[in-house]
Structure 1
Amino acid sequence: MMKKSIFFLLKILLIVPPFAIAEKTQWQYMGSQFREDYQLQPDLKAFYKIHRTPLTWFDARTRCDREGAELVAPQSHEEVEMLKTLLEKLDMHEPFLFLGIHSLFAKGRFVTLSDVDVQNLNLHWESGEPNNYKNNENCVTLNYNGRLSDTDCNDVHPFVCKKVARNISWNNECYTYDQEYKLDSSLSTCYKLHTQPKNWTSAYDVCESEGGHLAIINSVEEKNFLVKLLGEHPPARIQGNFNKDMTFLGFHDLFVSREFRTITGETLQEAGYNEFAGNQPDNVSPGEHCGAMFRNGQLDDLWCDRPYLFICERSNELRERPQDPFMKHFSKELVYIVPA
């Protein structure tokens, strides 16, 4: 019996190399295990999200980046066909998708965002393209035929963001790919301090793009956690020439002056925390309308258009993935992805 077991084990090892078993285990993904709003395409070993609202090329690139992904630059005929399928479903006249390809570094030399020359990809230009119309076409779109055209980067088009599966690590506590979110287990909420300063509207967009929102303080306990989080990042350890003692939060008086509300519509009293610092809010000229806190947790009003630190928060609870009719052909089942 022992000899038969050893023989069977040797047979398995000869058929399936040990490294193949290790790789298969390493690259096991559930279909939703990047972001809830992205879908896995197993054959392409990547996650995708289509943005139907047209943006400029620069804004599209930024939006993908803030979601932890990249503006798609198709690498194969199969990926072009997948993008054509998405494009055909858009109810638009002469639809185009912006791609992560540009010639902004050297006129006429089109490269991807990772600096791969488009000539090295299996892609095809539309007849007569690129034509650099009016000497102002430095970005690239894909049409419904799966062919490329150069275009003005400031035009607006839909776009697709992509995340390669093999580049993903997972934050189990906060149910996100982003390792910088830290869990407060008593609140079942995760927080991330952004030390690259943004103005308030950009900070709002960053948090929403990460699947969260600008932090809202609902209790003294929550305030204490944020104070502790800031304490782990003293000003001397943060690079840049800006005020590092102030941090944007998710409240404002943009609708009615001196009527502070959270981004979810509550007054600060209704939200559960309304402790302003002494002599605050003071609405210093030309007007401070966005909410913030000092390092001790007391609140302040700040200029919305100036850059400061900011904190995002998100629930660590598992959420259902939105059902997107444009993405029905993507698998949602357990799959195994082995790196190429």
Structure 2
Amino acid sequence: MWAQAFKTFYRLHDLATNWAQARQICEAEGTNLLVPHSLEEMDNLKLLISNMKAHFTAIFIGVHDQFAHGEYVTLQGYPIRGTILELLWAEGSPNYVNNSENCVVMTREGLFDDRPCDDIYPFVCKILGNETEYSEECYSFDLGQSLDEAGYSSWSPIKQDLSTTEPQHCGAISRSGFLKVTWCDMPAMFLCEKRGCQECTANLTTPAPAP
């Protein structure tokens, strides 16, 4: 759905899944799991989620407290405390049932509630119009990027055995430096990456003046 008022594309995924998988699917499309930014946008989204199957009561959104109990943040790490989003909690929420409700859903009424991340719900992916680019080759806005295009596609010469009962959908780098596939819920070390600004890079690489 294209919302002209917000210059934003939304996609409702009616195939329900857990929160982590919903986030991965959106990111694979080059979008993000929905985070509303205004009450006006929330009203607009009610129309979209009214199209989901009748037996679903809510959708997953990109808000969670998995880093610190009770401190809800967006996928970008911004706290919702003190923002307009904090006003959208349903009455009595968040209620932290059994300290296991670390992810957030939006109900059909446009209100937030905390639920377990392993629950199954539909979800909405979101991207700003000026961040999209149409692919003539794929007839789609979902451009994606191959590993070759990303600059590193070195797989281990030893073929992995993928004949397991639990599908492996996530990528990793082994100790040997080769790429491999693994289970998305398997704990592992990880690296974070952030693009630096040109000015910052220049300051790091420019020699200091001689005393």
The TM-score, its normalising length taken from structure 1, stands at 0.43
- Given that 1:194 and 1:309 are in contact with CA atoms closer than 8 Å, whether structure 2 keeps it comes out as no
Question: For the structure 1 residues 193 and 142, does the alpha-carbon distance in structure 2 shift closer, same or farther, using more than 3 Å as the test?
Answer: closer
- Given that 1:47 and 1:163 are in contact with CA atoms closer than 8 Å, whether structure 2 keeps it comes out as yes
- Given that 2:63 and 2:73 are in contact with CA atoms closer than 8 Å, whether structure 1 keeps it comes out as yes
Matches of 1:121 and 1:288, distance apart in 2: 46
- Which residue pairs with 1:117 in the alignment? 79
Q: What's the offset of the Cα at 1:136?
A: 0.8
2:120 aligned residue (156, 161, 176): 156
Aligned residue pairs total 168
Question: For the structure 1 residues 91 and 176, does the alpha-carbon distance in structure 2 shift closer, same or farther, using more than 3 Å as the test?
Answer: closer
Matches of 1:87 and 1:65, distance apart in 2: 20
Q: Which moved more, 1:169-178 or 1:109-118?
A: 169-178
Is 1:132 matched with 2:85? no
Is 1:238 matched with 2:152? yes
Q: Among the aligned pairs, what percent are the same residue?
A: 30
Q: Which runs of 5+ in 1 are unaligned?
A: 1-38, 181-191, 196-228, 247-283, 290-303, 311-340
Query: Structure 2: which amino acid aligns with 1:194?
Result: L
Q: What's the offset of the Cα at 1:67?
A: 1.0
Is 1:60 matched with 2:13? no
1:71 aligned residue (17, 26, 33): 33
Which structure is larger by alpha-carbon Rg, 1 or 2? Answer: 1
Q: Which runs of 5+ in 2 are unaligned?
A: 172-178, 182-211
- Note the aligned Cα RMSD (angstroms): 3.3
Matches of 2:142 and 2:49, distance apart in 1: 29
The secondary structure found in structure 2 opposite 1:118 is: coil
Question: Greater helix share, 1 or 2?
Answer: 1
The secondary structure found in structure 2 opposite 1:89 is: coil
The TM-score, its normalising length taken from structure 2, stands at 0.67
Question: For the structure 1 residues 137 and 194, does the alpha-carbon distance in structure 2 shift closer, same or farther, using more than 3 Å as the test?
Answer: same
Matches of 2:18 and 2:65, distance apart in 1: 15
The secondary structure found in structure 2 opposite 1:154 is: coil
| Superimposed CA distance per residue, residues 290-321 of structure 1 (whole angstroms, 9 cap, x where no aligned partner) | xxxxxxxxxxxxxx9696689xxxxxxxxxxx
- Which residue pairs with 2:108 in the alignment? 144
Query: Structure 2: which amino acid aligns with 1:147?
Result: L
Structure 1 segments (4+ residues) deviating >6 Å: 286-289
1:1-340 to 2 correspondence within 5 Å? 39-93=1-55, 95-119=57-81, 120-122=83-85, 123-172=87-136, 175-177=139-141, 193-195=146-148, 238=152, 242-243=155-156
Question: For the structure 1 residues 131 and 175, does the alpha-carbon distance in structure 2 shift closer, same or farther, using more than 3 Å as the test?
Answer: same
